[in-house]
Amino acid sequence: MSDAQLAVLAALRMHGRHTLSALAERERVTAPTMTAMINGLADQGYVVRIPDEEDRRRVHVEITPRGEEVVAETIRRRDALLADMLGEIDLSEKDLAVLDEAAALLRRVTER
């Protein structure tokens, strides 16, 4: 799975159902690029398309439980890798405070 596909799954997990155009805008890609990405994710069972009840031309994309599992497992693996990397170096209290502040800033950025 590409980083871009994982980013789409994470956005759906964090922010819920989106239209294709809203996802494309959120991820800063073209609509055809997002359509191709969603096609691949749907083929693998990670997302489903849901027709809009009011406008049949519009389609919403929603993450499936299988897609949520992929995101959760990726987060677990990345957290473990980071913990291992941080465990290999001697960090002072000041270093840990700086990392804590940086993590808070990064969370704000990713919650856009």
Structural domain of 31: 1-112
Tens of pLDDT, residue by residue over 69-91, are 999 999 999 989 988 998 889 88
Tens of pLDDT, residue by residue over 28-78, are 999 999 999 999 999 999 999 999 888 888 999 999 999 999 999 999 999
Q: Does the predicted TM-score (pTM) go above 0.85?
A: no
Is residue 8 within 8 Å of residue 39, measured between CB atoms?
no
Give the Å distances, CA to CA, from 82 to 14, 34, 59, 71, 99.
21, 30, 37, 16, 12
Around Cβ 7, how many Cβ atoms within 10 Å?
A: 17
Sheet bearing 18-19, strands edge to edge: 18-19, 59-63, 47-51
Question: Can you give the CATH number for the domain in which 7 is found?
Answer: 1.10.10.10
Total domains in the chain come to 1
E strand segments, 1-112: 18-19, 47-51, 59-63
